[in-house]
Amino acid sequence: MEKAGYISAEMRRIFKNKYVLLSVCLALLVPLVYAMIMLSPKWGPYDNTDNLPVAVVNNDQGAMSDGQRINIGESLIASLEENESLGWDFVSPEEAKSGMEKLEYYMTIEVPEDFSKKTLTVLDDEPIKPELKYTQNEGLHFMAAQVTNKAAETLKTQLSTQITATYVENVVSQLKEVASGFTEAADGAKQINDGTGQLKDGSEQILDSLNEKSSDIGRLADGAKQLADGTRTMRESLISKQGDITRLANGSQELNIGTGTLLYNLQNKVNDIARLADGARQVNDGTGQLLSALNEKSSDINRLSTGSSQLAEGAGELHSGSTQLLKGAQQAKDGTAQLKSGLSEKVLPGSEQLAAGVQQAQAGVNETIESMQNLRAALEQLPNSVDGLEENVLYKLIMGQLNEGLKTVPQKQKDFQRLVDGANELRDGLKNELNPGVTALDNGLSRLVEGQQQLQNGASQLAQGSKEVAAGNQSVAAGWKELQTNVAKLHDGTKQVSDGNATVKSGWNDLTNGAAQLHDGSSQIRDGNNAVESGWQELSSGATRLHDGSSQVSEGNQTVKAGWATLTDGVSQVDGGLEQLSDGSEELQAGLEGGAERTSSINPEEENIAMFAEPVVLDGEVINSFPFYRDANAPYILTLALYVGVLVMSFAVQYRKPVTMPPSATSWFTGKIAKLSMLATAQALIISLYTLFILKLDVQSGISFVLFSIMASLTFLMIVLFLVGLAGNIGRFLALAFVVLQLSTTGSALPVDMLPEGLRNLSVFLPFTYSINSYRNIITLGSTSEMWGNISVLFVYFAVFAILSFVVFKFKYRSLPERADFNNEEISESVH
């Protein structure tokens, strides 16, 4: 039988038996059933989510923020009452728990009682994130769980936006407080600048005064040293003359004793005048000897008188010099007392106040800097809660100003520290060096004045005693001369004793009187010399004390000189530090005023706060969108319908049994292909035309849609033909398993890119992958190059399985019995 005749026989077999024809018609309608059931509905899976019951429990107790009560939970409930995305059911915690146990709710959302309170801890040292609790019953339905999970994420985003708005309001409120703090800090900086200027003027005056008095302090120290050297020389001179003064006092004592004896003897011999006559010769001899002795001692008496006069003059000069020295010492003591009073009452308290004021200013500036750093740290943490805040212009402006203000902080802190160190050095120098030196100088000058007073008193006594000594010595000299005269007369009288006792008596009386005067003068000389000795000793002691005091004055003045130089250097450093402080406080004032101006200018409106809370708005478009949810599933449904239609067709139409004994394997294969291809094409036409004209599926190209449906149906026919022709019912089972294998691995439920790596690699070898991609390009994407690439792969499948099917028919043809009853419904089971 020829090939064309065999093909006609295969076609007539369909119409010969009405049951076969009915079966074929039903098989042709299988893809149509798929389209009618799965592509006809226009509703989507998210169209009726408001029927999903979700329990909402609000336990939020609210919180107070700047005197205003906030309750995030109440705001959430209010927004959900207007939201119909899910079936919200606002219940108590007990009702929600009971509903979840009875499987009445797909999810329970709970707002904890401290939710609002935790939202206000964003700027605390340890902020606590508020938690929105939810319990999801995924076991009720996986898709419902996905919907409720997305709703929970939406609620989280909504609450985050609302909380961020609250944060922004708080931050803006605090920025206003910061602006006020900047203003106050700027005023404080101005006061610091003004005070620093006054301190600078004062330090310049102190420095000028110190420099001006520096030479006087040097002269004072040099003069005190010369004074100490002079008093040492005077003390040594007085001590060296102490022996002479003692011998002078002893000689005057002996002189007084001798004159007393003389007077006593003269007075006792008045009544022995008779014996005087008898002893005239002896008296003449004695008077001769006495006259000779008087003559010999006359020069000594004259020298004693001259020395006493010189002593009186020297004592007067010493008294005058000690008076001047006492005045100078008192003036120096008065000056040091004024210096000590001014230092203790004005300079030291002023330095203490200066050091304390500078430290307080440093503390105030450090507090302002710390507030600015805390504000910057809080603003740096804010982008963690608000997506996209780092790109916000206002946020960048705030952070830029804060960073600019904080850039000069380290240098300002160093300048302030140098100012504090200078003030402390000034205070310590005045307190520990200058003040003790001035006190020591004052004490030394006090002792100098006391010693000088004693020296003046001793000098006064010395001058008085020396005058008395000089007067006594004058009397002695006069009495000595008179004694010489009287002794001469006595000597002459002894020669004239005989001339009359009256003359002797008168001469004796004169001698007695002269002896009395001599005794009185010697007593005066004794007393004066004793006073000179006592005064000399006091003068030596006073000179010693004067030397000690002058030494202390010299040492104190040297200390004052060194301290004055240290004080001058310290004041110079203070003056330089005050100049730096003035410049730094001026810059600080300018920076704080600028910060206050910029910060106070921040006055956001509701639109600005809304932008902080939700800075990014999605502005996009959807291309190649699906008019209905069915359009998204159409590629998968059409592919599955055509494959299942071909597979079902194998039960209604013989895929293996020939209608008659074929003349060749080629005729047999060609006849089957012609008949089955016509049926597969009919299936493709029915489902594609129904989809286009009845369901009105919107496609990029209707012709391409119909032609590709035919192409896909023929490809699936070759696959099923090979499996059924090879193994019969086992082949049908393998064809069904092949379908199941491709249900979740070819981009139907999930995109291929979302599959695990092993399934992604497997999908490359599955025909459903290319059929679904081709339908997707024809229906929505419109990519011609992609479509032809998938069609080329399907054509490879068509060619490969067509060749494999021909091989099977070729092999089966050899096993056909030579005498077979082809009128029976089935060939013998031996034909495989």
Residue 451 is part of a domain; what is its CATH number?
1.10.287
Separation between Cα atoms, residue 598 and residue 585, nearest integer Å: 20
pLDDT by residue (tens digit) across 313-343?
A: 876 777 787 788 778 767 877 877 787 787 7
- For 266, the token pair is 């003269």
pLDDT of residue 825: 39
Which residue, 584, 600, 616, sits at the end of a domain?
A: 600
Q: Does position 527 have pLDDT exceeding 90, yes or no? A: no
pLDDT, tens digit, 9 for 90 and up, residues 28-66 = 777 877 777 777 666 656 667 777 899 999 999 888 877
Q: How far is CA 324 from CA 313, 449, 547, in A?
A: 17, 11, 16
351 part of a folded domain: yes
> Is residue 681 domain-resident?
yes
By three-state DSSP, how is residue 69 classified? strand
Between residues 692 and 402, the one the model is more confident about: 692
State mean pLDDT over 577-602: 72
Residues 593, 671 within the same domain: no
Q: Which of 15-24, 84-93, 510-519 has the highest mean pLDDT?
A: 84-93
Domain CATH code at residue 85: 3.40.1710.10
Q: Of the ranges 74-78, 222-226, 415-419, 591-595, which one carries the lowest mean pLDDT score?
A: 591-595
CA distances from 404 to 183, 376, 400, 595, 722 (A): 17, 11, 6, 9, 80
List the Cα angle 162/168/169 in 5-degree steps: 95
Asked if the model's pLDDT at residue 135 lies above 50, the reply is yes
The count of structural domains within the chain is 3
As a whole number of angstroms, the distance between CA 193 and CA 183 comes to 15
More confident residue, 150 or 520: 520
CA 270 to chain CA centroid, nearest Å: 118
Q: Decide which of 106, 125, 159 is a domain's last residue.
A: 159
Contact indicator for 553, 434 with CB cutoff of 8 Å: no
Residue 273 reports pLDDT greater than 90? no
Residue 152: which pLDDT band, with cuts at 50, 70 and 90?
confident
Q: Do 268 and 378 sit in the same domain of this protein? A: yes
Report residue 399 as tokens: 């952070």
The pLDDT, as a whole number, for residue 794 is 96
Tokens standing for residue 728: 């019969």
* pLDDT score at 681: 96
Indicate the pLDDT class of residue 408, thresholds 50, 70 and 90: confident
Structural domain that includes position 649: 3-41+630-813
User: In which element (H, E) is residue 80 found?
Assistant: helix 72-81
Range in 472-486, 678-692, 756-770 with the lowest mean pLDDT: 472-486
Same-domain pairing of 730 and 804? yes
Give the confidence band of 10 by pLDDT, cuts at 50, 70, 90. Answer: low
Give the C-alpha distances (Å, rounded to integers) separating 83 from 106, 155, 163, 610: 17, 11, 19, 20
Lowest mean pLDDT among 349-353, 430-434, 766-770, 825-829: 825-829
**Mean per-residue pLDDT for 152-179?**
70
Residue 530 has pLDDT above 60, yes or no: yes
User: Where is mean pLDDT largest: 179-188, 221-230, 564-573, 769-778?
Assistant: 769-778
Beta bridge partners of 64: 69
Q: How far is CA 482 from CA 203, 209, 411, 512, in A?
A: 80, 71, 101, 12
Residue 607 inside a domain? The answer is no
Helix 435-495 and helix 501-600: axis angle, to 10°? 170
382 and 235 within one domain = yes
pLDDT score for 645? 94
**Which residues contact residue 31 at a Cβ distance below 8 angstroms, ignoring those fewer than 6 apart?**
638, 641, 642, 644, 645, 683, 684, 686, 687
* Separation of alpha carbons 46 and 69, rounded Å: 38
Residues 238 and 332 placed together within one structural domain of the fold? yes
Distance CA 573, CA 569 (A): 6
Residue 215 placed within a domain: no
The alpha helices in 614-664, defined as continuous H runs, are 629-652
Write down the pLDDT at residue 3: 52
Strands 87-90 and 53-58: parallel
Per DSSP, 660 falls in state S
Instruction: Please give the pLDDT value at position 773.
Output: 93
Classify residue 782: in a domain, yes or no: yes
Q: Assess whether 578 and 681 both reside in one domain.
A: no
Phi, psi (rounded to 5 degrees) for 154: -65, -40
Would you state the pLDDT for residue 823?
A: 45
Same domain as 384, residue 305: yes
Q: What is the pLDDT of residues 630-639, one digit of tens each?
A: 778 899 999 9
Confidence of residue 176 (pLDDT cuts 50, 70, 90): low
Q: Clarify whether residues 231 and 358 are in a common domain.
A: yes
Mean pLDDT over 410-423 rounds to 78
Structure tokens at 742: 């491709």
Is residue 391 a part of any domain in this protein?
yes
Q: How many CB atoms lie within 10 A of CB 413?
A: 15
Predicted local confidence at residue 504, as pLDDT: 64
pLDDT at 238: 74
Same domain for 15 and 57, yes or no, is: no
Q: Is 43 exposed, middle or buried (0-12, 13-18, 19+ CB in 10 A)?
A: exposed
| pLDDT over 90 at 704, yes or no | yes
pLDDT at residue 831, rounded to an integer: 34
pLDDT digit string (tens) for 211-225? Answer: 877 777 877 778 777
Give the model's pLDDT for residue 718. 96
| Neighbouring residues of 41: CB distance < 8 A, sequence distance ≥ 6 | 630
Same domain membership, residue 634 and residue 754: yes
pLDDT at 494: 64
Share of the chain above pLDDT 90, in %: 17
Per-residue pLDDT, 705: 96
Say if residue 557 is in the same domain as residue 636.
Answer: no
Residue 200 lies in a domain: no
Range of 50-64, 244-258, 284-298 with top mean pLDDT:
50-64
pLDDT of residue 501: 63
Are residues 34 and 149 located together in one domain of the fold? no
Q: Which of 199-208, 379-388, 714-723 has the highest mean pLDDT?
A: 714-723
Inside any domain, residue 513: yes
User: How would residue 9 be classed by pLDDT, with cut points 50, 70 and 90?
Assistant: low
Write a three-state SS string for 717-747.
HHHHHHHHHHHCHHHHHHHHHHHHHHHCCCC
d(Cα 307, Cα 168) in Å, to the nearest integer? 109
Position 2 pLDDT exceeds 60: no
Task: Identify the three-state secondary structure at position 424.
Answer: helix
pLDDT for residue 824:
42
Per-residue pLDDT band for 769 (boundaries 50, 70, 90) equals very high
Tally of helices (H runs) and strands (E runs) in the chain: 22, 6
